[in-house]
Amino acid sequence: MKLSLGPIQYYWPIETVQAFYTQARDWPVDIVYLGEVVCSKRRELRLLDWLEIADMLEGAGKEVVLSTLALMEAESELITLQKICENGDFKVEANDMAAVHLINSRPFVAGPHLNLYNASSLELMRENGAVRWVMPLELSARTLDELQSGRPEGLETEVFAYGHMPLSFSARCFTARAHNVPKDQCELRCIDYPHGMPLQTQEDQELFTINGIQLQSGLPSNLLGEIDSLRQLQVDVLRLSPQAEGMQQIVTAFDAARKGEQSEAITALMAADTEWCNGYWHGEAGMLNVNAVLK
Amino acid sequence: MESVKPHMDLVCPAGSLPALKAAVDHGADAVYLGFRNATNARNFPGLNFDMDEIQQGMAYARDHRVRVLLALNTFPQPGHWSEWTRAVDEAAELGVDAVIMADPGLMRYASRRHPDLRLHLSVQGSATNRHSIAFYHDEFGIKQVVLPRVLSLSQVRQVINTSPVDVEVFGFGSLCIMVEGRCILSSYVTGESPNTCGVCSPAQAVRWEETPRGRQSRLNGVLIDRYRHNEAAGYPTLCKGRFRVGDEVFYAMEEPTSLNTLDILPELMKLGVAAIKVEGRQRSPAYVAQVTQVMRAALDACYRDPDNYQLQPEWVASLDKVSEGQSHTLGALHRPWQ
């Protein structure tokens, strides 16, 4: 099984992003997804900056994929999308059918937001050039089992295996709303929240994470304990979603687990089972930790 | 110069046969409905149609020259694939005027198996821009697209000017603030979402509690809101709860409110919007009658003389009465809302 670094979902300063990927060059990840996937107002890095990082990572032997926005409304966003799709060097991850349309049958990765829930949809993507698909976040191992048996030839399967799950996108910016300012005057406040803003219930339960126009799960999804079933289901790639802190340990844990090795990183990541969830994988509410429930 | 389209279809919800009749009787141009199962995004207890009811409904609508659209707008999974393809086949046999669909795989099936079946892209298909619409048009020959409730008026204009197909927008009803089809908040908390089960914040997961601090609503155990005495309590839809961010407890996503486009009907008409959709298959026949009647009156006034269109206070009052939270908004159509 290969490991991938998903796109950074938060808004980090350019120096932080560059430092993150300089470190990632030496991590045991096989694939790196680069680019802005949440909000087009986040312009710390321009396409050329991303391409520079892409070249550096490709030089280090990584497969690089350029990720794209999941919600596009403005013409300027479509122009950027077109530039990315026509970059000529790197594969693109499509998170909206607009990207599939513009990719125009070149090889691409069908991202988690394309809503591919059945074999017919996978065939459609394969016909349009997809070489890999990322399972929708809310599907279970059991559904994946059924999907894998109907998977078209030449299509790899990737599963979101660690991180705060992107659950929804809106026209409204919830970070701006929390600061009581309109979206047009947001002053790019997301940059102050490298892990997003926690949203809790009135009983202090971690429910969601506010990340600009996106809401994420309050708890990170963690499929480290499911490596055996992921392998059995012939999953090709495990996606680890970049976190502002502790990412190296997460990568180390998954790398050890895929090799069947023991590691302190695994123990550390599996501890505190009230702090992560795996419900979707087990066909339950996504927020649940089935391991904790079984205790 | 923008050309003024002479007509916008009024598309009304029919969650039951009485609701369908209410819509037809009060001036709908088309009604939309679903089978009584998970193949549509309003799979709520006690709603929707079996075959016999659909046939009765279609006969009634046809007698009044009203079109019938069938929503098959959830995302089938492998274990249940044949239930969805059977629904597509039945829609074709019934001869409905169009099928409203979201799943790309199912649209592929429908366009191949029933090339004459008219396809509309559901709001659950998440198409918010011209390239996405072009994809569905090129692949499946869709004839109409329902836009997610995330676009501003100028963005709607841009889509209409560049879309290869007719554009339908939501005109009235509960307000989804997320891109429809790309929101799984509900399954994160309850295990069931619009995409997978045709439900959002499903009723069986709701619990009401009376406590010394007031009334509380829970969804699968998660506290959604807490109400003061005498405060009106709304259905605990996840995105309309009061939550804590930092030190503040507030409607972190959205207040309970309804979308209402009465204010801007002439603008929508001038933009070339082909159809206006009323949300609410889960609502009563009385709601459908009231909203259809007001929207019909407003559309007729707008059609007669768009430049001198004036909002009638009784329209607004009558719609606010049936609105969620008894208040309304233009939502994303009005930029400052965002």
Residue B72 and residue B205 in one domain:
no
Q: Which of B231, B250, B269 is the last residue of a domain?
A: B250
Q: Which of B220, B250, B280 is the last residue of a domain?
A: B250
Contact across the interface for B220 and A285, Cβ inside 8 Å: yes
**Is B53 a member of any domain?**
yes
**Is B284 a member of any domain?**
yes
The ipTM is 0.97
Report the distance separating Cα B203 and Cα B222, nearest Å: 14
Cα B325–Cα B331–Cα B333 angle in degrees, nearest 5: 155
Specify the pLDDT at position A294: 54
Burial label for B196, CB within 10 Å (0-12, 13-18, 19+), is buried
Residue B17 and residue B146 in one domain:
yes
Specify the pLDDT at position B331: 86
For residue B230, the number of C-alpha atoms closer than 13 Å in the C-beta half-sphere is 0
Check: CATH 3.60.21.10 for A2-294?
no
* Residue of chain A nearest B137, judged by CA positions: A101
Report the distance separating Cα B195 and Cα B189, nearest Å: 14
Q: Is the pLDDT of residue B3 over 70?
A: no
**Is B4 a member of any domain?**
no
Report the distance separating Cα A109 and Cα B69, nearest Å: 34
Q: Is A207 on the interface with B (CB under 8 A)?
A: yes
Mutation site for A-interface testing, chosen from B124, B131, B159, B195 by largest number of A Cβ within 10 Å: B131
pLDDT in tens, chain A (295 residues): 999 999 999 999 999 999 999 999 999 999 999 999 999 999 999 999 999 999 999 999 999 999 999 999 999 999 999 999 999 999 999 999 999 999 999 999 999 999 999 999 999 999 999 999 999 999 999 999 999 999 999 999 999 999 999 999 998 999 999 999 999 899 999 999 999 999 999 999 999 999 999 999 999 999 999 999 999 999 999 999 999 999 999 999 999 999 999 999 999 999 888 899 999 999 999 999 998 665 4
- Backbone phi and psi for residue B275, each to the nearest 5 degrees, phi listed first: -155, 145
Closest-CA distance of chain A to residue B241, Å: 9
Closest CA to B140 of B166, B125, B116, B119: B119
**Is B1 a member of any domain?**
no
Q: In three state form, how does the secondary structure of B141-210 look?
A: CCCEEECCCCCCHHHHHHHHHHCCCEEEEEEEEECCCECCCCCCHHHHHHCCCHHHHCCCCCHHHEEEEE
**Is B3 a member of any domain?**
no
The two three-digit tokens of residue B19, written as one number: 């609701």
Contact across the interface for B183 and A284, Cβ inside 8 Å: no
Contact across the interface for A116 and B190, Cβ inside 8 Å: no
Report the distance separating Cα A49 and Cα A194, nearest Å: 20
Residue B201 and residue B274 in one domain:
no
Give the largest Cα separation in chain B, rounded: 62
Mean pLDDT of chain B: 93
The two three-digit tokens of residue B206, written as one number: 């709701």
Residue B92 and residue B151 in one domain:
yes
Kindly list the residues from chain A whose CB atom is less than 8 angstroms away from the CB atom of residue B185.
167-168, 208, 215
B77-132 per-position pLDDT tens digit: 999 999 999 999 999 999 999 999 999 999 999 999 999 999 999 999 999 999 99
Kindly list the residues from chain A whose CB atom is less than 8 angstroms away from the CB atom of residue B337.
172
**Is B213 a member of any domain?**
yes
Q: Which of B196, B219, B250 is the last residue of a domain?
A: B250
Closest CA to B200 of B239, B253, B227: B239
Residue B71 and residue B138 in one domain:
yes
Closest-CA distance of chain B to residue A94, Å: 11
Q: Is A138 on the interface with B (CB under 8 A)?
A: yes
DSSP-derived secondary structure for chain A: -EEEE----S---HHHHHHHHHHHTTSS-SEEEES--S-TT--SS-HHHHHHHHHHHHHTT-EEEEE--S---SHHHHHHHHHHHT-SSSEEEESSHHHHHHHTTS-EEE-TTS---SHHHHHHHHHTTEEEEE--TT--HHHHHHHHHTPPTT-EEEEEEEEEEEEEEBSS-HHHHHTT--GGG-TTGGGG-TT-EEEE-TT--EEEEEETTEEEEEEEEE-GGGHHHHHHTT--EEEE---SSSHHHHHHHHHHHHTT---HHHHHHHS-TTS-B-TGGGTS-TT--HHHHH-
Q: Is A118 on the interface with B (CB under 8 A)?
A: yes
Interstrand relation of A31-34 and A2-5 (parallel, antiparallel or unpaired): parallel
Q: Is A180 on the interface with B (CB under 8 A)?
A: no
Q: Is the pLDDT of residue B326 over 50?
A: yes
Residue B194 and residue B164 in one domain:
no
**pTM score of the predicted model:** 0.95
Residue B216 and residue B276 in one domain:
no
Closest CA to B145 of B190, B160, B38: B160
* A85 in Cβ contact with A105 (< 8 Å): no
**Is B2 a member of any domain?**
no
Beta bridge partners of A216: A166, A209
Closest-CA distance of chain B to residue A115, Å: 8
Helix/strand/coil percent split, chain B, to 5: 40, 20, 40
Q: In three state form, how does the secondary structure of A208-234 look?
A: EEEECCEEEEEEEEECHHHHHHHHHCC
Q: Which domain holds residue B288?
A: 9-175+257-337
* B98 in Cβ contact with B143 (< 8 Å): yes
Specify the pLDDT at position B6: 61
Burial label for A286, CB within 10 Å (0-12, 13-18, 19+), is buried
Residue B211 and residue B303 in one domain:
no
Closest-CA distance of chain A to residue B266, Å: 23
The structural domains of chain A, with segments of one domain joined by +, span 2-294
* B187 in Cβ contact with B196 (< 8 Å): yes
Q: Is the pLDDT of residue B2 over 60?
A: no
B303-313 per-position pLDDT tens digit: 999 899 999 99
Specify the pLDDT at position B7: 84
Report the distance separating Cα B79 and Cα B16, nearest Å: 28
**Is B300 a member of any domain?**
yes
Residue B84: CB atoms within 10 A of its CB come to 26
Question: What is residue B336's DSSP assignment?
Answer: G
- Backbone phi and psi for residue B291, each to the nearest 5 degrees, phi listed first: -70, -40
Q: What number of residues does chain B have?
A: 338
Residue B153: CB atoms within 10 A of its CB come to 18
| Tally of domains in chain B | 2
Residue B74 and residue B90 in one domain:
yes
The two three-digit tokens of residue A231, written as one number: 């392998």
By Cβ distance, the residue of B106, B222, B331 closest to A201 is: B222
Residue B264 and residue B117 in one domain:
yes
Residue B332 and residue B203 in one domain:
no
Residue B36 and residue B123 in one domain:
yes
Beta bridge partners of A214: A169, A211
Task: Reduce the DSSP state of residue B69 to 3 states and report it.
Answer: strand
Closest CA to A24 of A11, A10, A8: A8
Specify the pLDDT at position B328: 83
